[in-house]
Structure 1
Amino acid sequence: MNGRSTVPGLLRQRAADTPDAVALCHPDGSTLTFGQWDRSTDALAAALAADGLRVGQRVALLFDEREWFGFATAFCGVLRAGGVAVPLSARLPPGQLVDRVTVAGAVGTIREGCAVPPELGGWQRRPADADANADAVPDRATPAGPAQIIFTSGTEGSARPVVATHGNLTHGHDATPGRRQLAHSRHFLHAFPLGTNAAQTMLLTGLTAEPAALVMPRFDAAEVGAAVEEFQVGTLFLVPAMARELLDSGELHSRDLSSVVLVGTTGDVLPGSVARALAEALPYATIVNTYSSTEAAPARTTMVFDSRRPDAVGRGRVRITDDAGREVPTGEVGHVWIGSAAPPRRYLDGGDTGTFRDGWTRTGDRGRLDDEGYLHLAGRDSSTIHTGGTTVSPFTVEQALREHPDVRDCAVTALADPVLGERPAAVLVTRTGAVPADLRTFLAGRLSGAEIPQRVVCVAALPRNDGGKVVVRALRDLFPPVGSTATAAPVTVVERHLADIWATVLGVAAVGRDDDFLALGGNSMSALRLARLVADQFAVPTPVSALYARPGLAEQAAWIADRIADSP
């Protein structure tokens, strides 16, 4: 046995200390004890070794979300046999599964509860096929050896495989009695999908936490609320998207959830408005957000919600640098690096120098440190919008959008513009199902003109991946091409004359009363020309700001008509 600095070593220690204690449980009442987990891990490791699995070879794990017990056994069994586990989500399309298994270089697949694409081949042994009464096998894992390959979220591009060693995974985890985590209750709950970094963190937490892990096959607000109430859950782990859904569901007010004393969120930034609502709904709970990444873990910052700095993501080992890698002064925005004493992770496909350096990991975010060392994020490096000569942070625009009382959720992306290069555009989830009529006026007091989204669409739900993160590359598909949808013809005399002016300024054949000047390609220069022509045509003073605040043809025409009516 290689001791507690390997994952199966932690399991062996916990099984020796508390063999009959429940490690994992389902809401249906089924349980897996540490002793059972350790014995089934031994059996699978022996079977894999007998089948010829060599130290360092990679094995893909493909499990239905309901099969957490089997997944836990498979993960530890592969590692005890000296292999490297490649957890994958069963929700991925077959083609993506094949691609990821190929990229990871897996020699076989262990699965349970779901089909395996025929192209994968190799092992298709279910953990349940192994003899759970097999004798203990020598642990071939080593602290410095690779333990897992997990893919990044791929929200902005291709997902990349990240390698973590046993030493990386076990860093900060201690199964020693008296030092175990979350000792304030008998259960902690999470509903993170298998194959995500958050789920892997929960598996390691389950090995070393005092309470049992109550695992949900998927997130459903009603089911989570019922499970928290029934099992008197003390700690609830969520991603921010789950927190929003839980708040909107009403479950936090309709059930007795007074047992919850800690809510931990991870995987994304927890908006201040969501944290504040959680704190109000769960008055006995401490709300803690953890900021990290698949590449950086276990390096992280943690932030207990503080209404005085609601947008901060905590303190920790953080550096902010410029493009050349030099640290910038306090308050200045730059690239975010977070550090840890744990052995670092690495990309399987190389290209590590820009991300991993001397115990520090670059997260891909931009941010700043305030005078007290708290980290404030300013958006992703790759998502910065360059519109004309101005740089716009989608993160900043999203923060302003979330302040609107009708906006439940939002995401901002860039759309191509023939004059300015790019323009910000917003996708909203609202309480009414429509874009708020006062949205542009509301944002005008909070954002600069360049930051106000020029196109806005409303959807029922944002496109998100299994980990709850917005799939940025899918946002642009939600905006129909300019001119691709027909709108109603102008009705009033002012609308018809204004439509003719628009057509001249924008160079388009026809304009409808529901069209948007900015969405049709209007910019600051064409808006100046529009303002002059409107002033000449209708004999009313027309500031450009008035047109920008009312980009729709019908609303511009109504504004003009009001000015005509008021004129002497």
Structure 2
Amino acid sequence: MSGGPTVPGLLRQRAADTPDAVALCHLDGATLTFAQWDRSADALAAALADDGLRVGQRVALLFDEREWFGYATAFCGVLRAGGVAVPLSARLPPGQLVARVTVAGAVGIIREGCAVPAELGGWQRGPAGAATDAVPDRATPDGAAQIIFTSGTEGSARAVVATHGNLTHGHDTTPGRRQLAHSRYFLHAFPIGTNAAQTMLLTGLAAEPAALVVPRFDAAEVCAAVEEFRVGTLFLVPSMARELLASGEPDRRDLSSLVLVGTTGDVLPAAVARALGDVLPYATIVNTYSSTEAAPARTTMVFDSRRPDAVGRGAVRITDDAGREVAAREVGQVWIGSDAPPRRYLDGGDAATFRDGWTRTGDRGRLDDEGYLHLTGRDASTIHSGGTKVSSFAVEQALHGHPDVRDCAVVAVADPVWGERPAAVLVTRTGAVPADLRAFLAGRLSGPEIPQRVVCVDALPRNDGGKVVARSLRGLFPPAGSTPAAAPVTVVERRLADIWASVLGVAAVGRDDDFLALGGNSMSALRLARLVSDQFAVATPVSALYARPGLAAQAAWIADRMSGSP
């Protein structure tokens, strides 16, 4: 292969083998062939070399979401000139954009359709250039090709370096061996600058079908495109899958051409996978599990109702925190392996993440007796409630099973008694917390796992990769005592508040307080039920109190029974 196993080498090979084949396509029918892509990358590489770009220097790429042709040209042109591409999202706030360009050490920016903050120095240029003869490929397989940032959902994003050998691993451009040969088009709507979009760009270089690129995910637009272009393969992140299902568009469009729906970027909840299978009966639903650091190492799993929460098997290890492998069914650190050249952090500190061909993903999980991986949550999202480790992932999976819950996230909130307790943020069909939510969860989760505080929002904050930005949710749960408590209003509320204060040993109780959030547990709930039964002459099962832990809700339930209402 001319150029060897480098990214521009893949492009040159495809341009030689299939020059007139469409590589990228827009919804308006505009196309970029492999020959056009190769020539425009050559033109840019020559211009960058003339500008003095040296091998190994880093160049930031900032493109409007609609400029995929220009972006593809810029990415391969920078790499052909020996540079290192730094893909950035046009959706980043100016401060984050400046920070990432600075961290990456970019000497300049290639941009199209985007404004650049004034604080950024270095040179700027567009991707266009005059046609030129083929230029030498200055890239090498073991040379750095790109710097991309992790999602940063729990903290600061980190810069990850990938070599050409890492990016091209597993991509075979040989006729008859190209990926996705069952499709004429594969479609994705991943934003430029994300790891998922980079995966799609490399797939577009090596796969058989053309890449139909959509600037921003819109369920109606995507389904219309699938119908019009007879798309065979659709790539989504789980949040897009939920939006697709909620839209009702699959019932209004002919999506029978879809034979593969692949999800990536996060774990696909079992309830969402089942629903996708129902509305897309001709498609195989596949979830891919990896991470920005681990790629191209990954596991893939065709949805299997017998093990709905599994994410695949293969090169997976589970270790304790000291790095020792644990037995099947024991929870520990998840490592996934590959014989591809590994990635690394730009700022160092690799030893805890990269080791002998294995990459620690930052997730916790277990292997079942057949070797399938089941995730239990991220290290950073484990909730330490008393002496129990609560997996926010497991709680979210249970919440997804409720028919009124469209989306959800679980975070840890401080608790004066337990240290931390789980709290849930929901997007529901009605815009309100389902009345039966606690009873629904009681049959699926243990007491410490049931969220003690629950709020509803219109939409969860997500990054460009579709992952929930957990740190943005904690402000929805102010610390106890940080806001004035609303005083009980009715006679029943005031009497019940006195009982709560006695049972829980607290000085005062507000009408919006939550019994469990104030430290209530199964034993104190049993005592509360007995006192309520005695003092209000109302038969009170503990389950009735657990189903409505708020003081006002419990008081309303008691008042209804006192008045003879069912």
**1:339 counterpart (332, 337, 340):** 337
How far the C-alpha of 1:544 sits from its partner, in A, is 5.8
How far the C-alpha of 1:124 sits from its partner, in A, is 1.1
Maintained 8 Å contact 1:60/1:101? yes
Cα shift readout 1:483-503 (whole Å, capped 9, x = no counterpart) = 566787645432221123345
Aligned to 2:496: 498
Relative to the length of structure 2, the TM-score reads 0.95
* 3-state SS of 1:377 partner: strand
Cα shift readout 1:270-296 (whole Å, capped 9, x = no counterpart) = 111111111111111111110000000
Cα shift readout 1:230-279 (whole Å, capped 9, x = no counterpart) = 11111000001101101111111100111111111100001111111111
How far the C-alpha of 1:126 sits from its partner, in A, is 0.2
**2:346 counterpart (345, 348, 359):** 348
How far the C-alpha of 1:418 sits from its partner, in A, is 1.0
* 3-state SS of 1:500 partner: helix
Maintained 8 Å contact 1:506/1:520? no
Q: In structure 2, how many angstroms separate the alpha carbons of the residues matched to 1:530 and 1:492?
A: 19
Aligned to 2:173: 175
Q: In structure 1, how many angstroms separate the alpha carbons of the residues matched to 2:423 and 2:338?
A: 37
* 3-state SS of 2:102 partner: helix
RMSD: 2.1
How far the C-alpha of 1:516 sits from its partner, in A, is 2.4
Q: Does 1:127 align with 2:127?
A: yes
- Of all paired residues, the percent bearing the same amino acid is 86
Maintained 8 Å contact 1:506/1:521? no
Maintained 8 Å contact 1:109/1:120? no
Counterpart amino acid of residue 97 in structure 2 = L
**2:230 counterpart (229, 232, 241):** 232
**1:431 counterpart (429, 432, 454):** 429
Counterpart amino acid of residue 262 in structure 2 = G
Maintained 8 Å contact 1:162/1:346? yes
Aligned to 1:82: 82
Q: In structure 2, how many angstroms separate the alpha carbons of the residues matched to 1:509 and 1:446?
A: 32
Maintained 8 Å contact 1:188/1:214? yes
Unaligned segments of structure 1, at least 5 residues? none
Aligned to 1:161: 159
Aligned to 1:385: 383
The worse-fitting range, judged by mean Cα deviation, of 160-169 and 553-562 is 553-562
Question: After superposition, where does 1:173-322 map in structure 2 within 5 Å?
Answer: 173-322=171-320
How far the C-alpha of 1:479 sits from its partner, in A, is 2.5
Unaligned segments of structure 2, at least 5 residues? none
Aligned to 2:510: 511
Q: In structure 1, how many angstroms separate the alpha carbons of the residues matched to 2:432 and 2:208?
A: 47
Q: In structure 2, how many angstroms separate the alpha carbons of the residues matched to 1:375 and 1:352?
A: 24
Aligned to 1:410: 408
Q: In structure 1, how many angstroms separate the alpha carbons of the residues matched to 2:195 and 2:77?
A: 19
Alignment length, in residue pairs? 563
Aligned to 1:91: 91
Counterpart amino acid of residue 405 in structure 1 = P
How far the C-alpha of 1:200 sits from its partner, in A, is 0.3
* 3-state SS of 1:154 partner: coil
Q: In structure 2, how many angstroms separate the alpha carbons of the residues matched to 1:518 and 1:134?
A: 71
Q: In structure 1, how many angstroms separate the alpha carbons of the residues matched to 2:545 and 2:275?
A: 36
How far the C-alpha of 1:510 sits from its partner, in A, is 5.6
Relative to the length of structure 1, the TM-score reads 0.95
Counterpart amino acid of residue 84 in structure 2 = V
Q: In structure 2, how many angstroms separate the alpha carbons of the residues matched to 1:547 and 1:181?
A: 56
* 3-state SS of 1:85 partner: strand
Aligned to 2:370: 372
Maintained 8 Å contact 1:435/1:458? yes
Cα shift readout 1:24-54 (whole Å, capped 9, x = no counterpart) = 0100111111111101101111111111111
Maintained 8 Å contact 2:61/2:74? yes
Q: Does 1:23 align with 2:48?
A: no
Aligned to 1:36: 36
The worse-fitting range, judged by mean Cα deviation, of 154-163 and 111-120 is 111-120
Counterpart amino acid of residue 7 in structure 2 = V
Maintained 8 Å contact 1:314/1:374? yes
Q: In structure 1, how many angstroms separate the alpha carbons of the residues matched to 2:69 and 2:476?
A: 39
Q: In structure 2, how many angstroms separate the alpha carbons of the residues matched to 1:70 and 1:229?
A: 27
